[in-house]
Structure 1
Amino acid sequence: MEIRYVNSNHTTEDKYCDCGVYGRNSPVEEVSGIVTLPTGDPRGCGPDPVYNRNFSYLPWIALVKRGNCTFSEKINAAQRQGATGVVVYNVDGSGNSTTQMSHPDADDVVAIMIGNSQGMEIAKLVTNGTQVMMRIAVGSPHGPWMDTYWLYFLSIAFFIVTAASIAYFVFISANRIYSLSMHRRNERKLKSEAKKAIGRLQVRKLKTGDEETTSESHVCAVCIDSYKAGEVVTVLTCDHIFHKACIEPWLLERRTCPMCKCDILKALGVEEETKENLSAESPPDVTVITVTGGEPLYEVPLTDPASPHTERPQHLYDNRAFQGDSEAGRR
């Protein structure tokens, strides 16, 4: 957009800026003429607005303010009065920002939008009686970021991507929670099988004179403490002996002998279907943290031979030597 006028010092001033934006439905052509304002309302609305023209033989360009009616109504009203082009300047407080107008009902006349500051400056000159010549020419194209509809498209795309990311996160989280739930469930089943296996182990009470109490070479590998008369011990299928209170929590967590790594589930013939399901269904990246120290985490409902209750369930052993020792002790 280029304007030319004579200032108060009788000097011709030319101003040029690449600041206007052609309307979406406007012909992209060059036009020129004398800038003319509507009388009264600067917005140029209404069916037949009056333009302050003291000439009839020169082409003129209507300068109107945005607001009150559609762009098509402003442009058509000025065209009916004989304008060769229409310049719409933006609303107050918008600075020099512009948008691309949409005027589908007025697509045969050149129409552009300029910023509010630029439009107010030109309108002030015309109001003071200065004759301003304007030329609208095709300048450098604006990028798509100037298009309001393109901004809408980017906003919608952003929300779609955000929603898809949230949905993916929820799916992954739900799948992880389900996998962890299955892992805990199978772990509980496996501990239940371990309890059954522990219930089939030989349990006895040490007496004075037993080899375990007289030799310092016999110590519990779990607590690293020597055996004393009156303590209750558990004999594993591999013939290793441990304190009952020490080995049972260990077996519930690991199910193997602390010394030789013998698997008590296999040694006692306990069904291992739960263990296989655990390996198949557990996620590979699940981390199980074991906290040591403090009170035992598991409570094993086993019968203590030192209990005052006379009724105790009979233990059955796959190892015949354990079975014979148990029967001899009862006799």
Structure 2
Amino acid sequence: MGEKTQPSLLLILLCMSGLVPRSAAFVFWTALLETRYYHSSNDTVVKLCECGVYGRNSEVEKFSGYVAVPKGDPTGCNPDTSYGRNSSQEWIALVKRGNCTFSEKINTAMYQGAAGVVVYNVDGTGNGTTYMSHPETDDAVAIMIGNIQGTEIANLVKSGTVVYMDIKVGNPHGPWMDTYWLYFLSIAFFIVTAASIAYFVFISANRLYSMNRHRRTENRLKSEAKKAIGRLEVITLKRGDELTTSDAMCAVCIESYKAGEVVTVLTCDHVFHKACIEPWLLERRTCPMCKCDILKALGVEEEVKVDMSTSSPPEVTVITVTGGDSLYEVPLNEPMSHEPEQQQNLYDNIAFVEDSETARG
């Protein structure tokens, strides 16, 4: 009971949201078929089964009436086929599959006033049914039942037995609603979710490891920088010293030197306020003026700061230069050591050389 209720509720929600039209190809509805007729002993025989399947293009709704079979051809393909029923009572056409399309059978019966059409399968198929398609019918209600059951009802009607049929909407079925498919989709969902979580955990752990490694490297470099700073020459300025009498200024704070201030002399002989240069050296470890590496100058080997995998390439500003009929991109902020090679590469282009000579001339 629980297995049928859950898919039904899911389908109802989808139908209410307009996502599943009545003729959706990925779901089909079964039909509850109840037949009643009087036996020769005046006993009422009632048979009930969920043995019908609504057509692909059928209205999915209940219908009922007395069963009528076509006279002559049981398939009801002839447009002039008579069922011998009038419109005073609701009646259902019972026709056999074959000889023409489902649409032709259904339209012929509906044209004569049938409340609905029941198609039973061909001989040799037992009680097997198929999901019949009848796109050329408008607002028709049609189901298919098995051959054995349909033949039995047709024979009763032909023998003069009055058979009443009541058909109600059964349960929805489809690949996505099958229990095994639900299990499969659930397992697939959990596998994908687990893989995604594992991937993000791996990425986060790798990033955390890189950050910790970078932090440890920075801490070691700061420790080495502290040792190096302790080996630098420190002077207390006195009145009359050259630094106090000249216009020299500390390049970090941009203020003049005064008597009584403590200054630090770097290995490159540049002088700065001790309170200004020490925080600078802890972070950058180079002279603010000449970029001299203090650690290397003091013989302290600097470790690699960051892995190549975590470092980003330097940004390069590029301008476009016109040379003849061609365009050339020239980086502006390349290191000075690369400039001669850059110029040599540029002058290898004949058009560029001609333009340069013309400008100089």
- The normalised TM-score by structure 2 is 0.45
- The normalised TM-score by structure 1 is 0.49
